[in-house]
Structure formats: C-alpha cells, structure tokens
Amino acid sequence: MLTSITEGILCCLTGKAASLVLPLESSEPSDGFEFVEVKPGRVLRVRHIVPERQPIETEKEVDACNDSDTSSSVHCKRRITVYRNGQLVIENLGDVLHSEILQCQDGDLEPCSTVEVELADFKEIKPAPPPRRRRRKPKRTVVIDSKRVISSCKGTHSDVALFFVHGVGGSLDIWSSQLDFFSRLGYEVIAPDLAGHGASTAPQIAAAYTFYALAEDLRAIFKRYARKRNILIGHSYGVSFCTFLAHEYPDLVHKVVMINGGGPTALEPSLCSIFQLPSCVLHCLSPCLAWSFLKAGFARQGAKEKQLLKQGNAFNVSPFVLRAMMSGQYWPEGDEVYHAELTVPILLVHGMCDKFVPMDEDQRMAEILLFAFLKVIEEGSHMVMMECPDTVNTLLHEFFLWEPDMSRKDSSKTDAEKTVAVSDTLHTLKINKVMDK
C-alpha cells in the first residue's frame, strides 16, 4: 500500500499518468490464446477453444436440427408505445410460449401477463359525466414483427459458439470455470479481454474506453468468430455489450445470458463518483478500492474469495483505465424500448447478495424483455460465476439445451392479446418468472 501511495504522489508531481496495464503472462497454457488486432495498435487477447469433433456425425446432427426447427418457429410481434409522461405500453400480439425450463412450473414466457393496465380507458356512464380526458398522443411507437427459430444448442453442433464478455475491471480469467466446463462438453468458446484489461493492450487516451469504442472492438471479435448460432454470456457491464450485439445481429444471436447486468436503462456516467478523481489519486486509493470490490463483489471475504480474485485477474487494471471506463459509460440508445425490441430468449442470473446491482433492476429487465427467465442464486453475489461455478454452469447448460414447448400454442391465442403497461411511477408489476432456488 505504501508503494501505491508513493507512486501516486510521484504521478501527481510529474503530471504523468500512472503506469498502464500491460500484457500479462497468463498462468494458463498458451494453447487456446490468441491476440487479435481489432484496430491498428489495438490488440485484444482472446481465449478461443475449438473442441475436436467427428465431422460426419456433426453435419448429420446439424441437418437434423435444422429440419426440426420448424416446430420451434415463434412469431414475435409486439407494439411498443412511449407516451410523453414516460409511460411505456407494450402490446404482445405474437405467439405465447410455454416451457418447463429450469424446474419452473408452467413457465409462461409471455412477460408480465398479469400486469394491471394503466391507460386512458375512462368510459361514460351517466348522461352528465365528468369532462373526458384528452386522448394522449404517443411520443414514439415501435412495431416488432418477425419470426424466430428457437432450438436446442448442443456442444456437438458445429454451428454453435459461446461468447463470454466480462465487465469493468475483470478479464477473461473470471470465466475459467465456464470455459473449461463448456469446452469439455464440446462447445466452441470465445472469451476476449477488453482493452486495458487482462493481457490486452491499454491505449493511453480516454476515448479508447468509451462504450462505443469497446462495442466496436467486440463487434470485430464477434464477426471474426461467429457461427450460425451464437450464444452471448455477459457479466455486469459486459451485459450491455451483449445486448448491443443481439440488437445488431438478430439473425446470428440465438440466445443471451445476462449475469448481474442491472436494469434496462440508458447508460450515462455518474458525475458524483469517486472514479471522477484524478488517476494519481485513484492510484493511491487502489488498495482500498480493491478491498471494497472484494467486500461488495463476493458474499464472503475469506481466503478462497481472495484467491479467486487473484486467479481471475479481476480488478487488476490501472487507475487510468478504470477512470476512463467508468467515465465512458455513455449509451443513450440503450433504454427500455431498445431492450423491449429484443426477440432473443434471455436468461437472467442474479446473485442475491449482490451489492452493486439491486434485485429490482433485474426484475425490471425481466418485465421488459419478450422472452426472459430470471434465476436468483441465494448464496451468490456480484461474482456469482466464480463463487458458485457449478450452479451457474448447470443453469447455463440447461438454458442452452432448452427449446420451447409449442404443444399449447393454439390454445393460448387468447392470452397473446394481453396488453402490458409499464410505468416508471407505477410499480404494480407482477413477475411470474422469478424462480427460487
């Protein structure tokens, strides 16, 4: 800690930024690691594991899967209306799906089907009624009308790839348990280090760490490794990038997993934050910040958690990168409407002890999304995939293999006409997708 304070004082006196994070020697074997230049001088470390498969059997399985996809074709149709008072009204007009995913009894994928509707629905009853309300004019209306094929994704399918995206201060090493588990099951896995994190290069300009700059990096990685069916798994800030890619490539993204990602709100940096302090000051405070992250990111702070933090190379970024990352979280397009437009099935995983992301934010996300499951892990916190790897791996695998039950599709047509109203001031929403452990 004394060394950090000394370096911070020298940084302030010389006017130079603290030393930036440089490529690290990974404890993992060199096999499976690649360095990809997404832009000139901007190199990301990527762990890419391609399992050995039997080509003949794989192709037969893929063809058989494609032939049976017609039974899982879902008509995604919804009208999203935004009024000037901030009210969001979602009308689901497409198919209603039913499933028994993750031991959820009668899991109805139609979001918020039991929500009270708050609309201008006043009706005249007496000859001399009160003055009628003026009919509100919508500020914005978005219509989604498409068909999506939802099928099981097995590790033996050569057209399936899993992308893992970490958040601020993390690295691809936080996914070690997931990468090893799914690669052993035969999945092709891809996990990059964001710029300035892990073993990726760290540019010395703040503009290199804005949301849009990082999103373009991940777009390049996605286009390089994408298969026909891709599943995106994001953690914390990484969830926003997965949402961006799912919105940009709806035909290529098959499913999405959001782990402690927060609510469906547009991103903007906080002006009153400790991360707005100069980099040299943050450098002095780095030991305190690391300890605070350990306390807030893990349900327990024992020797095991400290070792996990060290092995995962988490929160091992320079103060300059950390400050630029927090200040660059500006994404005005990522509002509730943006999320409501997604038609991809989504699994939400929330650690009950998470001190960074409140439970109600993930509940709000489940309300807005079209096809979403919310799973709460009681003993987990923000770094739930490191704390409870077996539980998380099981949840993810079951979700990858899940496909909707269309047997009750015809009998549910009347339910498909239900209207969902979501108001920022009215929180009478009921979620029937939250599953206890």
CA distances to 99, 101, 247, 350 from 392, in Å: 20, 15, 25, 10
Report the C-alpha gap between 260 and 247 in whole angstroms.
Answer: 19
Report the C-alpha gap between 154 and 41 in whole angstroms.
Answer: 37
Tokens of 184: 């052993």
Residue in 95, 193, 217, 354 annotated catalytic: 354
Helix (H, G, I), strand (E, B) or coil at 225: helix
Q: Can 236 be counted among the known catalytic residues? A: yes
Alpha-carbon Rg for the chain in angstroms: 23
Is 323:275 a contact under the CB 8 Å cutoff?
yes
Residues paired with 394 in a beta bridge: none
Is 323:276 a contact under the CB 8 Å cutoff?
yes
Q: Can 67 be counted among the known catalytic residues? A: no
For tokens 């890619």, name the residue: 245
Tokens of 211: 């949301």
Residue in 166, 197, 254, 382 annotated catalytic: 382
Helix (H, G, I), strand (E, B) or coil at 106: coil
Sign of CA dihedral 364, 367, 368, 373: positive
- Nearest residue to 416 (alpha-carbon basis) of 384, 357, 370, 373: 370
Residue in 236, 240, 318, 381 annotated catalytic: 236
Is 190:163 a contact under the CB 8 Å cutoff?
yes
Catalytically active residues are 236, 354, 382
